[in-house]
Structure 1
Amino acid sequence: MFIERQIDRHQLPYVLKVFNRLTDQEIGYLGNASEDGLMVISQLPIMVGPDFDLQLRVPLAGGGYQFINLTASCLWSREDQTPGHFDAGFMLLQAPREYDEFVRSLRDFFSFKPMNESA
């Protein structure tokens, strides 16, 4: 029996790209984000240990992008369950206020909230 999905599925990793801010090269896609760090999904393994100057390019509703610049240290890197992909965990060393706002908006967007009941 076919049951229609009640909540749209959102594929974050296919939307938000992560770039090396210094070289302008795409590193991968954002897999997860928190106030303390982020996970990047890439097609190549990322070196563990060095600090990276990263840039998130967040699409804006009216077109264009918001650029969020971060400095982060890669703590771990491992092969993803998807063949040909790798996951890397970064600890934030420096992030602007816009990053915290971005994380809050992601949490709000992807969270289940109780519906307000009418009295």
Structure 2
Amino acid sequence: MCFGRLQPLSTPPPLCLGERSQPFRSGTKDCQSLAIRQHSRLTFRHLSRIQVTNRLSGDPMGYVADLSKGGLRLVAKQPLGVNGCYEMCLHVPTVGDRTREVQIVVLCQWGRKDARRDSFEMGFSLDRPSEDYTRLIGELMPKRRD
């Protein structure tokens, strides 16, 4: 069952298996690269960021730092529980002051405190396919020349 309530990270992150069945703590670079970075990512560094809200309550959750076909990285003021399932609404800037809403259900894979800012970063994988999300990624990914 998914939830949208913010939860502090009170327990150590779960283990995942890296190459050669060596355990890594979820949230380490080795574990992240195996689980999350299977796809090219789009990184957002401009002011018109994609804001994220809880789909059920409408509460702000943070903003998207990068996107890929398999998930996203969220920057937030509060950490979310690793292994938690969340229903999110992405508010994608379009023309003018308008936004397009893309609803997704995701699982939190890892979380860490950002040492440079007073915020947390969390990595999420898609829990269910989303046509709107797939279309968004297709529109944002640079077109390759063949």
TM superposition score normalised by structure 1 = 0.75
Counterpart of 1:19? 53
Contact 1:12-1:31 at 8 Å conserved across structures: no
Computing the radius of gyration from Cα coordinates, the structure with the larger value is 1
CA contact (8 A) 1:14 1:29 kept: no
1:38 matched to which residue of 2? Answer: 72
CA drift of 1:91 comes to 0.8
2:109 alignment counterpart = 75
CA–CA distance in 2 between the matches of 1:105 and 1:88? 24
Please state how far the C-alpha of 1:46 moved relative to its aligned partner. 1.4
**Does the CA contact (< 8 Å) of 2:66 and 2:74 recur in 1?**
yes
User: In the alignment, does 2:141 pair up with 1:107?
Assistant: yes
CA distance in 1, matches of 2:129, 2:96: 25
Q: How far apart are residue 83 of structure 1 and its match?
A: 2.3
Q: Is the 8 A contact 1:12 1:30 kept in 2?
A: no
C-alpha distance 57-103 of structure 1, shift in aligned 2 (>3 A): same
Q: Which residue of 2 aligns with 1:89?
A: 123
From 88, 96, 116, the counterpart of 1:54:
88
Q: Of residues 22, 29, 46 in structure 1, which corresponds to 2:63?
A: 29
CA contact (8 A) 2:64 2:74 kept: yes
Cα-Cα RMSD? 2.2
Question: C-alpha offsets along residues 4-54 of structure 1, whole Å, 9 cap, x if unaligned?
Answer: xxxxxx625751101110110110010111111110001111111110000
Q: How many residues align?
A: 102
Match of 1:71, SS? strand
Percent identical among aligned pairs is: 25
Question: 1:38-85: CA deviations, max 9, x gaps?
Answer: 100011111111100001011221542211000001011001232211
Q: Which runs of 5+ in 2 are unaligned?
A: 1-43
Where in structure 1 are there 5+ consecutive unaligned residues? 1-9, 115-119
